[in-house]
Amino acid sequence: MGGVPPLTTAEAEKLRAGTPAWRLTHQGANLQRRFDFPDFKTVLTFVNRIGAIAEEEGHHPDIAFGWGYCVVELYTHKIKGLHENDFIMAAKIDALMNEFGS
Amino acid sequence: MGGVPPLTTAEAEKLRAGTPAWRLTHQGANLQRRFDFPDFKTVLTFVNRIGAIAEEEGHHPDIAFGWGYCVVELYTHKIKGLHENDFIMAAKIDALMNEFGS
């Protein structure tokens, strides 16, 4: 991924059509989604499932969580912006969320 | 905890002597510490251990983490500020960090 430039905001917006629950932040350099849950335990389970995907993909999001919520931020450090892989990761996390029932 | 006022900054600073690696943020309303680790897996293990303490104590911090780092923020929602319990929790997390070897 080192040699490619980050996606432009226009390119990112086009890919975002496949993961519309995510929003672009940091002038289009990051992709973020918030997830809400009824308790802490479910949040922690969800966070661990994301962690497993991250390890499989070798691509690690930034995650902020606490009682009842989790905010996931995707970004490709090597290119200081978004790569198509961030959208693949977002789609995998969306599919995971579907398993959690909302 | 509902009936007591939050700690004043002076009171919080006094208690902070017992957990000096933590700093007061948000005008003394929160207690925060950053932890660094050599990889993602160790961060996730650490986060889960904090989660177990949080469930035991019935007191849930806000945690932000990603590859190699974890930032823990303590705060008592009911009183919109710090309670002595936040410092007890901070001490428990410090003890946990000692197990991780730094």
Give the CATH fold of the B9-99 domain.
Answer: Gyrase A; domain 2 (3.30.1360)
CB distance B60–A67 less than 8 Å?
A: yes
Q: What is the pLDDT along chain A (102 residues), one digit of tens a residue?
A: 557 899 999 999 999 999 999 999 999 999 999 999 999 999 999 999 999 999 999 999 999 999 999 999 999 999 999 999 999 999 999 999 999 975
Mean pLDDT computed over B83-97: 97
Q: Which residues contact A85 (CB under 8 A, 6 or more apart)?
A: A1, A57, A59, A76
Q: State the average pLDDT over residues B15-42.
A: 96
Using an 8 Å Cβ cutoff, are A74 and A30 in contact?
yes
Best to test chain B binding among A32, A43, A47 (most B CBs inside 10 Å): A47
* Beta carbons within 8 Å of A58's beta carbon, 6+ residues apart: none
Question: Which residues in chain B are contacts of A55 at CB distance < 8 A?
Answer: 40-41
Structure tokens at B38: 């050599």
For residue B73, the chain A residue with the least C-alpha distance is: A66
What percentage of chain A's residues is helix, strand, coil (to nearest 5)?
Answer: 45, 25, 35
Task: Spell out the residues 6+ positions from residue A48 whose beta carbon is closer than 8 angstroms to its own.
Answer: B44, B48
Token digits for A52? 């497993």
Q: Do B64 and A60 touch (CB under 8 A)?
A: no
Bridge partners for B29 per DSSP: none
Rounded to whole angstroms, the Cα distance separating B17 from B87 reads 10
**Residue range B30-73, pLDDT digits in tens:** 999 999 999 999 999 999 999 999 999 999 999 999 999 999 99
Select the residue from A63, A69, A75, A89 to test the B interface by mutation, using most B Cβ atoms within 10 A: A63
Chain B residues inside the 8 Å CB shell of A65: 62-64
Choose the closest CB to A51 out of B44, B60, B64. Answer: B44
CA distance to partner chain B, nearest, from residue A54 (Å): 9
Residues of B in contact with A44 (CB under 8 A): 48, 51
Which one of B55, B63, B67 has the shortest CB-CB distance to A66?
B63
**Structure tokens, B85:** 């319990």
pLDDT of residue B3: 73
pLDDT at position B48, please? 98
Confidence of residue B1 (pLDDT cuts 50, 70, 90): low
Non-local (6+) Cβ contacts of A7 within 8 A are A15, A28, A81, A82, A83, A84
Domain ranges of chain B: 9-99
- The pTM score is 0.95
